[in-house]
Structure 1
Amino acid sequence: MQEPTLSETPGDEHGGRAPGRLLSFFAGPFAAATVYFLPFPSLSPNAHMLAAIMAAVVIYWIAEPIPLPITALLGTAFCVLAGLGSAKSVFASYAHPIIFLFMGSFLLAEAMAVHGLDRRFAAWILSFAWVGVHPRRILLAIGIVTAFISMWVSNTATTALMLPIALGLLATIHGTPAHELGEFRIGLMLMLSYGATAGGMATIVGTPPNLIGAALIAQQAGVSISFVTWMAVGLPLATLLLLVAWTVLWWLHPAETSMLPGLAQHLQEQKLALMPWTRAQVNASVAFGTAVVLWIVPGLFAAVWGLDNPLSLWLKAHLPNELVAILAAGLLFFLPTNLSKGEWTVSWKQAAGINWGIIILFGGGLAFGELMVETGLSHSIGQGVMALFGSQTVWSLTAGSIVVAVLVSELVSNTATASMVTPVVIAIAQSAGVSPVAPALGACLGASLGFALPVSTPPNAIVYSSGFVPIKSMLRTGLLFDLLGAVLIWLTLRLLCPIVGLV
C-alpha cells in the first residue's frame, strides 16, 4: 500500500468513489440552474444567485468529479463573476489569519514526519513496561500513541504513520497461532482510525474541521476560541472517545490469547533502529515544543492572573494562535542540521510538500461563509429551518447539528462537511436567538466522526487497505461508534461549554 503523505490533496482519497463520474460533471450545473430558475421570493437577488452557485459547489463536493480545492476556487471565482463581491473582498478569505495557522501547523507536522520524530515517539510509548505483551494493553497503547500524535499532526498522516507500526506488531508475533488472535487484528486496525479521530478533536490544530469551526464561529458569531479553551473541551472529549473506543473494540474484536510472544523483541528492534537522536529530530522537537508552550501560555496566564491583567491582554493581542504557528515553523529554517554544509532542519522542497489543497479548500469555505452572511442567505436559511421545526433550544440545536454532521460525513469528507454544515447551524441558532457556539462546535466535531465505510474518512480507507478489516466489521463497529461518539460529543459540550464560557 502506498501511504498517504501530508501533501495529499483532500478529495484524492475519494477520487473513484462515486459511480458515473461523467454524470456528476453535469449534476452541478443542473443543480445550479434548477435553484436559479425556481422562485424564492424570500431571498434577495444576490442571496438567490449565491444559493445557485453553492448548489453546484455542494454537488461537486459530494460527487468529487474534480478535486475539492478546485471546486472551492471555481466557486468563489463564479461569485465574483456574478457580482456578489469584488475579487479583493471575496478572495480576502484565502488570506484569513486561520490560513496561516494551517500553514504553520502543517510545516511543523511535515518536519516531524520527515525526520521520524513521530515514529520515535510511537516506539517509545509502546515499549513502556505497563504495556508488556498483553493484547488489551497493546490496544490501548496503540490508541494513546495514535491519539497523541493526531493532536498535532493530521488524522490521515497519523494513521499512515501508525499503520506500519501496527502491522509490524502483528507480523512479529510468530509464536501465536492465528486462531488465538481471533479478531484482535480487526480491533487493532480500527483503533488506528478511531484513535486518530479522537486525538484530532483534542486541539484546535488537530484536524481541519476544528479550524473551520473556530474560524466560522469567530467570523460569524464574533467569539474567539483560544487554544487553551478548545483543549478544555476537546481533551476531555478525546479521552472519553478513546476509552469508549478501547472498550468497544475489545468487546467486539477481542484476542483469544492473553500473551503475544515476539512483541518485546520487535519493540526493542524499533528502539535500536531509531537510536541515537539526530540533530534534525532535536531541532524539530524544539520548534514543536515552542509552539505548544506559546499556544498554552496566554490561556494559562489569563486563568491564573485574570483576563483583565495587562500582561494577559498583551499576550492575547500579540500572540494569537496563527502567529505562534508561523514563528515556530520559522524556527525550522533557522535551526541548522549541518551548518558547514548550509543544511537546515527543513528545506523549502520539503516545506512545499505540505497540504496546500486543504488550505485552498478552507479558504473557499470561509469565502462562502462570509458571502452567506453578507447576502442574507444564511439568515434566510435559518428562518426557513426554524419555521419548519419551530422553536429550538441551544442544546436541541446542538444535538441536531451533531447528527446532521455525522450523517453527512459518512459520504462527504469531514472538511467539506464542516464547511457546509457549520455556517447553516450558526445561522439557525442566530435566527432562534440562542448562542451559536455550542451548535457550531457540535457540527465541526461531529464532522470528524464517520466510521461506517472505508470512504467515510481517509483513516478508514487506510486501515481498510491493510486487508485485515472486512467491510461488515467496519460497518457494524463504525455505526455503533458513530452513535456513541455523537452522544459523547453532546454530553461533553453540555457539561463543559457553560463552564468555559462557550454559551
Structure 2
Amino acid sequence: MALYWCTECIPLAVTALLPVILYPMLGILEAGEVCVQYLKDSNMLFIGGLLVAIAVEQWRLHRRIAVLVLLIVGVKPSLLMIGFMSTTAFLSMWISNSAATAMMLPIASAVLQQLCETEANAEERKFSLAAAKNGQENQAFEMGDIEESKENELEAKESSIKIEVCDTSPDAKQRRLKMEQKYAHLKKGMSLSICYAASIGGTATLTGTTPNVILKGQIDELFPQNGGIINFASWFGFAFPNMVLTLALSWLWLQFMFLGFNLKKSFGCGTNKESDREAYQVIRNEYKKLGKMSFAEACVLVIFILLVLMWFTREPGFIPGWATVLFNKEKTYVTDGTVAIFMSSLFFCIPSNLPRCCGKSEDGTPAEAPSPLLKWDIVQEKMPWNIILLLGGGFALAHGSEKSGLSVWLGESLTPLQSIPPFAICILLCLVVAMFTECSSNVATTTLFLPVLASMAIAIKIHPLYVMIPCTIAASLAFMLPVATPPNAIAFSFANLKVMDMAKAGLVLNIVGVLIINLAINTWGVTMFQLNTFPTWADVNVTQTP
C-alpha cells in the first residue's frame, strides 16, 4: 500500500480498499472487522466540516470575508501581502486550501494590475511635465539600454501585468517595461504568498486539512483509552499560535525575496495617494458586486459561528464542557463529529429564502417551497469521497498492524533510538516528513508515517503525541514543488512561475516551518498535552497488543 500510494499507479482510494481484500485472504482479520474501520467518528467530523465548507462556497460567503479584509488592510504592497496571506490562511482553516487559493489569486492579480497602471500613468505625467518645462524632447537609448529593454520585455511578456500608455517614445517604452517587470516580480511573490498561506492556515484547525483528521483517527484507533486528548479545542490551542508564527515569518521571508526591506518602498512603493485610491477602488468595486448580504449568506454565517462555538465549548479542557454537563460525566457520548453532522444537517432544512406568509406568489398562484441552503446534488459533486475512503484505508491499515503484531515488531526494532535526545528525533522526523511530502500527497504521507511513529514512541517510552503532532503539521509544509499540493499547482500556473522560483522560496520556509513546529511542541505543547511523561493510556495499549 505504501508503494502504491507513493507511485499512484492506481487511484489512492482504490489502494485504500486493499485491506478489505487482503486481510481476510491472508487470515489477518475478518472481513466485517476490516470494513468497520472505514467509517469512524473522524470520518464523520471530516464529512461535517466539508459540508460547512461547501455551504460557505455555495453562497460565496468566503469571497465577502476576503474582500472585506482587503478593504481594511489597504493596498500598500507589504500590507497587501500580509492582508492576502492572513485572509487566505483564515479561509483555509474552514474551506479547502485549493478553493481559498483559486479565489484569492484573481483578486490579487486585479489589484496589482491597477497598481501597475496607476503608478505608470503617474510617472508618465511626471516625465511629460518635466519635458514640457525644460523644452526638451525624449532622447534615444544607448545600446546597453536597448539590450536591457529586450530582457525586460521578455520577462514582462510572461506576466499578465500590462500597462496601456499613450506615449510611444523609446524612453516611455523603457519605463513601461521596467514597471511591468517590477510588478511581474511582485505578482510572483503575491501568488506564492497566497498558496503558502493556504497550506499554513489549514494546520490551525482540526478540520482545516486532512492530515489533522488522520492524526485524530489514528490516535483514537491506536490508543482507545486516550480520553479524547485530541479534539477541536485542544488542537486549535496548540496549532493556531504555531500557524500565526509560521505565517509571520513566511511573510518576512517573502517580503525579503520580492520586496526587500526598504520600508518606504515596501509600504509606499513610490505611489501617490491617487494611485492608492484607484487601486483601492478596485477592491471596493469587487465588494459592491457582491451586493447586500442575502438571507442565505446570513444563515450560513450564523450556522458557521455556532458550529465553531460548539466545537470550542464541547470539551475545552480547563472547565467541564456542555457535552459533559448535559449528557454524561463519565463517557464521551458526544464528539466533535456529532456536532459537525448536527450543524451541517441544518443546511438541508433551512430555506435559502424567507417563505411568504400567505403561501402565495406575487401573481396570486400558490408559491413553491423555497430551496434549502444546500441540495444533495451539489454535495455529491463537491464532496471528495475518495478522501473519505483514504481515511478509512489508513485506519484499516493501522488496525491490521496492531492485531497482527507488526506494530510491536516495529517498535522493538526502533529501540536503539533511545540513545538520541527526543528533541533531535523530533527535528529529524519532521525534516524527513517535510521532504517526503514534496513528492507524495500529505494524506498518504501522514497515513504511512503515523502508525510507525506511534510504535517508535511506545518502544522508546516517549509521549506518542510528541512526535505524531509535529510530523502531522510537517506533512502540510509542501512549499518547494508545484506537484506537492494543489495550491502550489494553482499558483504555479496562474503566475507563470518557474520551478526554481518556488524551490528557492520553499526550501527556506520548509526549514523555518520545522523549527517553529519543534519550538511549539517543546514549549506550550509540553504544557498542554503533558508531554514530559509517558501516558498510562499508551501503556495500556501495549499490554493489550498481542
Equivalent of residue 56 in structure 2, options 106, 109, 112: 112
Comparing 370-379 with 315-324, greater Cα deviation is found at: 315-324
State yes or no: 1:86 paired with 2:30. yes
1:216 CA displacement = 1.0
Label 1:188 to 1:311 Cα distance change in 2 as closer, same or farther (>3 A). same
One-letter amino acid of the structure 2 residue matched with residue 96 of structure 1: K
One-letter amino acid of the structure 2 residue matched with residue 234 of structure 1: A
Q: Contact 2:313–2:322 (CA<8 Å) still a contact in 1?
A: no
State yes or no: 1:201 paired with 2:203. yes
Unaligned runs of 5+ in 1: 1-56
Give the aligned partner of residue 269 of structure 1.
Answer: 285
| 1:411-450 superposed matches below 5 A | 411-450=439-478
Give the aligned partner of residue 296 of structure 1.
Answer: 312
Partner secondary structure for residue 317 of structure 1: coil
Comparing 316-325 with 197-206, greater Cα deviation is found at: 316-325
State yes or no: 1:156 paired with 2:98. yes
One-letter amino acid of the structure 1 residue matched with residue 2 of structure 2: V
Give the aligned partner of residue 39 of structure 1.
Answer: none
Equivalent of residue 323 in structure 1, options 317, 328, 338: 338
One-letter amino acid of the structure 1 residue matched with residue 348 of structure 2: F
Give the aligned partner of residue 360 of structure 1.
Answer: 389
Tell which structure's C-alpha radius of gyration is larger.
2
Give the aligned partner of residue 110 of structure 2.
Answer: 168
CA distance in 2, matches of 1:142, 1:318: 40
1:218 CA displacement = 2.3
Label 1:258 to 1:68 Cα distance change in 2 as closer, same or farther (>3 A). farther
Q: Contact 1:399–1:439 (CA<8 Å) still a contact in 2?
A: no
Q: Tell me the percent identity.
A: 29
Give the aligned partner of residue 218 of structure 2.
Answer: 216
Describe the superposition over 1:251-292 as per-residue Cα deviations: whole angstroms up to 9, x where unpaired.
Answer: 011176244644211111111011111222112112211210
Partner secondary structure for residue 352 of structure 2: strand
Describe the superposition over 1:297-328 as per-residue Cα deviations: whole angstroms up to 9, x where unpaired.
Answer: 1234x424699985696598343110011011
Give the aligned partner of residue 240 of structure 2.
Answer: 235
1:462 CA displacement = 1.0
Partner secondary structure for residue 332 of structure 2: helix
Comparing 395-404 with 81-90, greater Cα deviation is found at: 395-404
Label 1:439 to 1:411 Cα distance change in 2 as closer, same or farther (>3 A). same
Comparing 139-148 with 86-95, greater Cα deviation is found at: 86-95
Moved over 6 A (4+): 306-309
Partner secondary structure for residue 522 of structure 2: helix
Give the aligned partner of residue 16 of structure 2.
Answer: 72
TM-score by length of 2: 0.77
| 1:6-405 superposed matches below 5 A | 57-128=1-72, 131-173=73-115, 174-176=117-119, 177-181=179-183, 183-221=185-223, 222-223=225-226, 224=228, 225-254=230-259, 257-259=269-271, 261=276, 262-300=278-316, 302-304=317-319, 310=325, 314=329, 317-338=332-353, 339=355, 340-352=368-380, 353-387=382-416, 389-405=417-433
CA distance in 1, matches of 2:477, 2:379: 29
Q: Contact 1:336–1:343 (CA<8 Å) still a contact in 2?
A: yes
TM-score by length of 1: 0.84
CA-based RMSD: 2.1
Q: Contact 1:394–1:435 (CA<8 Å) still a contact in 2?
A: no
Q: Contact 2:199–2:478 (CA<8 Å) still a contact in 1?
A: no
Q: Contact 1:398–1:442 (CA<8 Å) still a contact in 2?
A: yes
One-letter amino acid of the structure 1 residue matched with residue 383 of structure 2: I
CA distance in 1, matches of 2:88, 2:300: 19
Describe the superposition over 1:147-190 as per-residue Cα deviations: whole angstroms up to 9, x where unpaired.
Answer: 10111112222212222222222233322332343622111111
CA distance in 2, matches of 1:258, 1:206: 38
